[in-house]
Amino acid sequence: MKVRDVLLLIPLATAMCAQSRPTFSSEPPSGSLHSLSEARIFALGGVGFAGQIPQELQLFRAIMVLKPDKAAQELERLYSDGNPQAMSYALVGMRKIDHKRYRELLALTRASDVTVRTMWGCIVLDEKIRTVANELDSGKYDPILPLSYRIAP
C-alpha cells in the first residue's frame, strides 16, 4: 500500500472510530416510545457507509435497559401501537424479556402480511414482517445482537 493510500484512509478510520456510543439512564429518553413507534427502519446494527447506529436502535436500547417489567410494558405498547418496524423491535425485546409473551406475539406476526423496512449495512429492503419474525426466531440475528439480548441455547 502506498503512503498516499494510507493518508487517504486515515480520515475515514478516524471518523469511524470517533463515533460515540450512546449511554442510557434508567429511563428512556423523552418521547422515545412515541418516536420508536414511528420507526423509519428496523436495523440491529450499524448502517450506512460508516456503520452508524440508527436512532431507532438507540431508542430500542434505551427501552431495554429499563427494569424488565417496565421494559415489557413499553414493548407491549410498541407492538400494539407501532408501525411494522416498531413491531419488529418489540419482538426482539420481548424475546429476551418474556419468552411466553414473545411466542404469542410471534404467532400473531407470522400471520401478518404487512411489510417492514429493514436495513443491513447499506442495503435497504422491504420484507414481510413474518419473514423478519421467522429469521429472528431461527436465531439468524443472534450474532449481531448484544450478548445481553441473546437467548441462551
Compute the distance between CA of residue 141 and CA of residue 133 in angstroms, rounded to an integer: 10
pLDDT tens by residue, 68-83: 999 999 999 999 999 9
Residue 44 included in any domain:
yes
Tell me whether residue 17 is in a domain.
no
* Structural domain boundaries, residue 113: 22-149
Q: Domain for residue 3, yes or no?
A: no
| Nine-digit cell string for 35 | 418516536
Q: Which amino acid is at 65?
A: V
> Would you say residue 68 lies in a domain?
yes
What's the domain count of the chain? 1
Ordered alpha helix ranges (H), the chain: 3-17, 32-37, 55-64, 68-81, 84-97, 99-110, 129-138
pLDDT at 17: 40
**Is residue 142 included in any domain, yes or no?**
yes
Query: Is 6 within a domain?
Result: no
Name the one residue in this structure whose C-alpha cell is 410494558: 73
Q: What are phi and psi of 119, to 5 degrees?
A: -140, 125
Any domain includes 13: no
* pLDDT band for position 49 (cuts 50, 70, 90): confident
Q: Do 89 and 36 form a contact (C-beta atoms < 8 A)?
A: yes
Q: Is residue 16 part of a domain?
A: no
- What is the per-residue pLDDT for 84? 98
pTM of the full structure: 0.76
